[in-house]
Amino acid sequence: MIRLNPNYDKLQSDYLFVEIARRVNKHLAGNSKRKLIKLGIGDVTKPLSATVIKAFHQGVDEQASKTTFKGYGPDQGYLFLRAAIAQADYHERGCDCIDASDIFISDGAKCDTSNFQELFASDIKVALPDPVYPVYADTNVMAGRTGFAQNGRYQGLIYLEGNESNGFVPSPGELVNNPAELVYLCFPNNPTGATANREQLGDWIQWALSQGAIILYDSAYEAFITDTNTPRSVYEIPGADKCAVEFRSFSKTAGFTGVRCAYTVVPGAIEINGIKLQNMWNRRHSTKFNGVSYPVQKAALAVYSAEGRREIKANIDSYLANARIILDAMNSLGYQYWGGVNSPYVWIKTNEDSWSTFDKILKGADVVITPGSGFGKMGQGYIRISAFNSAENVREALERIVDLLS
Ligand code: PLP
């Protein structure tokens, strides 16, 4: 009889969103009279902008004509999109170390952050933040780098603790007695909304260079950074092009969660034992992936037009205005919080079990939030409220929460 991959037995159940759905369904089956407002999931609610949708349509129309039809595109993505990304996201921000040849277009940062670990030996030491997006841990479990979980943590993974004293920005000092070879960082962070400043990122880059380690830097939420001093890219830090891979996505930046387009930057300057990491990723990408569709890449290109940039900024500003409503409500309740300024997420300290707060808000305010404990052990006692919804819904939800908790 065929045998299954035993590593999948080690995975903890997909508890968080399954359990949220179970509790929400139970609540809806009761006799709640008000509409349920969801501030739990991290999905955008605004449609694609006018300029993006126009380019998308044009791309589709081109597929209808013999003269403009396109079949398979380049594995790495069309040069028109890679060149626009290199110019707008890197050169305009002073990161001249990155060019179009370093950029790989894909259908999601989830896949890329999941798949990148394949390039490394199966027995490397991996460190990742807690709390954080759960995909980094689970994909290393699937690859056989961990043992079973004990007390919510996989044996063999190194957890970098985010807490109040470090502002949810762990430092490489935590790895002094437990060196890692691969480190995941995520800023602005999901779920805490914390951002790393130049000095903090500089420490990580110095550490990685001195250890010969690689940093996988997930900046899926960089477009929400409003503070001009906060780096939007890891390549704003000198030396990062020798030790860091950056993951970006059009999902939250431009509302592409249902359209699917993202990119990964693997600088040509990263070499391990004389082998270019970029060549390995190219081999992996072109073997296992056949490219993002032409109309989607045309739509993504429109994000960088003058009109596209204006429209996208307006959408992001409106989500950030929603975050402001959440922050004002937390101020009025006297709750301590993080994020919400350079991030669509607000991370709130509740001083009680995360699920108890979840239940209280669901039952008493008909609002769905996310319990912090679902993002790791360090999330216990916190909740995450997302700004992805209409201003009207966010206002109403927060009025209900303030009435309930004050
Ligand atoms: N990285 C982080 C930190 C996320 O929170 C998410 C989605 O929620 C992703 C990556 C996934 O992005 P994509 O939609 O490009 O797969």
Ligand 1 center–CA 227 separation, angstroms: 22
The third-level CATH classification (topology) of the domain covering 53-304 is Aspartate Aminotransferase; domain 2 (3.40.640)
Which atom of ligand 1 is nearest the CA belonging to 257?
A: 14
The answer to whether domain 14-43+307-405 has CATH 1.10.3720.10 is: no
- Mean pLDDT for the chain overall: 96
d(CA 136, CA 376): 12
Task: Ligand 1 pocket test: pick from 251, 253, 345 the residue with the most ligand atoms within 8 Å of its Cβ.
Answer: 251
Ligand 1 center–CA 258 separation, angstroms: 12
Q: Is the pTM of this model over 0.95?
A: yes
Residue 42 confidence class, pLDDT cut points 50, 70, 90: confident
d(CA 113, CA 267): 16
> Mean of the pLDDT values across residues 318-344?
98
d(CA 99, CA 333): 48
Residue 260 confidence class, pLDDT cut points 50, 70, 90: very high
Residue 18 confidence class, pLDDT cut points 50, 70, 90: confident
Residues contacting ligand 1 via CB (< 6 Å)? 42, 108-110, 113, 133, 186, 190, 218, 220, 249, 251, 257, 262
How much is the pLDDT for 180?
97
How much is the pLDDT for 33?
80
How much is the pLDDT for 326?
98
Strand partners for 129: 160
Which of 5-14, 113-122, 307-316 comes out lowest in average pLDDT?
A: 5-14
Residues 6+ positions from 210 with CB-CB distance below 8 Å: none
Which of 296, 298, 234 minimizes the C-alpha distance to 264? 234
* pLDDT of 14 higher than 80: no
Helix, strand, or coil (residue 104): strand
Residue 32 confidence class, pLDDT cut points 50, 70, 90: confident
Task: Ligand 1 pocket test: pick from 106, 110, 195, 264 the residue with the most ligand atoms within 8 Å of its Cβ.
Answer: 110
* pLDDT of 23 higher than 80: yes
Which atom of ligand 1 is nearest the CA belonging to 43?
A: 8
Domain layout of the chain by residue ranges: 14-43+307-405, 53-304
Residue type at 258? G
Q: What is the pLDDT of residues 183-230, one digit of tens each?
A: 999 999 999 999 999 999 999 999 999 999 999 999 999 999 999 999
Ranges assigned E (strand) in 103-250: 103-106, 126-130, 149-150, 153-154, 158-161, 182-186, 214-218, 244-249
Q: Are 81 and 262 in contact (CB under 8 A)?
A: no
Proportion of the chain above pLDDT 90, given as a percent: 94
Residues 6+ positions from 334 with CB-CB distance below 8 Å: none
Q: What is the pLDDT of residues 73-116, one digit of tens each?
A: 999 999 999 999 999 999 999 999 999 999 999 999 999 999 99
* pLDDT of 31 higher than 80: no
How much is the pLDDT for 58?
98
Do the domains 53-304 and 14-43+307-405 match in fold? no
Which of 193, 202, 265 minimizes the C-alpha distance to 226? 193
How much is the pLDDT for 17?
86
Ligand 1 center–CA 220 separation, angstroms: 6
Task: Ligand 1 pocket test: pick from 44, 224, 249, 263 the residue with the most ligand atoms within 8 Å of its Cβ.
Answer: 249
Pairing of strands 275-276, 271-272: antiparallel
Ligand 1 center–CA 405 separation, angstroms: 31
- Three-class secondary structure assignment of 290-357: CCCCHHHHHHHHHCCCHHHHHHHHHHHHHHHHHHHHHHHHHHHHCCCEEECCCCCEEEEECCCCHHHH
For 35, counting Cβ atoms within 10 Å of its Cβ (0-12 exposed, 13-18 middle, 19+ buried), the class is: exposed
Q: What is the pLDDT of residues 117-144, one digit of tens each?
A: 999 999 999 999 999 999 999 999 999 9
d(CA 65, CA 135): 40
How much is the pLDDT for 230?
96
Which atom of ligand 1 is nearest the CA belonging to 132?
A: 3
d(CA 194, CA 165): 13
How much is the pLDDT for 290?
95
* pLDDT of 22 higher than 90: yes
Ligand 1 center–CA 109 separation, angstroms: 5
Residue 13 confidence class, pLDDT cut points 50, 70, 90: confident
Ligand 1 center–CA 239 separation, angstroms: 26
Ligand 1 center–CA 60 separation, angstroms: 26
Q: What is the pLDDT of residues 352-384, one digit of tens each?
A: 999 999 999 999 999 999 999 999 999 999 999
Helix, strand, or coil (residue 14): coil
More confident residue, 178 or 159: 159
Q: Secondary structure of the chain: what % helix, strand, coil (to 5)?
A: 45, 15, 40
* pLDDT of 295 higher than 90: yes
Q: Is 351 left (phi over 0), alpha (psi -120 to 50) or beta?
A: left
How much is the pLDDT for 336?
97
